[in-house]
Copies of this chain bind each other. A is one copy, B any other.
Amino acid sequence: MASPNTRAQILDAAEHLFAERGFRGASVRAITDLAGANLAAVAYHFGSKAELLAAVVRRVVEPINDAQRTRFDTLLARTPEPTVTELVEAFAGPLFDGMRAGDEGGARTSRLIMRILGDPAEEMRAWTGSDEDAVRERYLTAFRRALPDLSPEELWFRMRGILAVAAVDRVEVYNRQLPDCVSPAVGDDARRWAITFLTAAMSAPPTGT
């Protein structure tokens, strides 16, 4: 029984297990087992475990980056001076769109993004290209125009805050039961709450000296 696309199944399994257990915690054997493939398939299709990780991360990051760029373009095509709300929506929105079905409500992608952000390991940092830098800088200058009173350092801090909220978004923070509030965020709720949360945060007046 030959699978139609071993490569894609390995990518899926690796995305799952890298998010769940981290790069070093997810063994090649566990990945190929979950994918229903042979152990040697990773070396054959990707070269090494590190290159597999890079492929997984690229597959997650690229659509997000593309969406951020196109939404930035359509935004500036409409108005030369976008508001903070519009910029937050365009920048943060794609971070939530990437969380699709079969993703345990986005927790898996959230976890993967979190690992990407937090892991200083070489393998986790080998994926970025100049595209990510370019998009990020365009938003940065647009935000600076919309928030002229903010120092560059504080603005930078706030942009990282956006990524932080998106990353932790749907991860179970505590292992205990939720106090008495009900099910975790479903569907678009988390996304809309995040936009509200982040728009208010980005719009805050500069921190006084």
Contact = CB atoms under 8 A, between A and B. Distances in A.
Nearest to A158: B197
Contacts of A194: 157, 161
Number of copies: 2
B200 A182 contact: no
Contact of A173 (B160, B173, B185, B189): B160
> What's the dominant secondary structure at chain A's contact region?
helix
A53 to B, nearest CB: 13
Contacts of A70: none
Contacts of A180: 152
Interface of A: 20-25, 111, 114-115, 117-121, 125, 128, 132-133, 136-137, 140, 151-158, 160-161, 163-165, 167-169, 171-176, 178-183, 185, 189-190, 192-201, 203-207
Given A196-B206, A200-B204, 8 more contacts: A114-B114, A118-B171, A128-B175, A133-B176, A160-B168, A160-B173, A163-B168, A195-B207
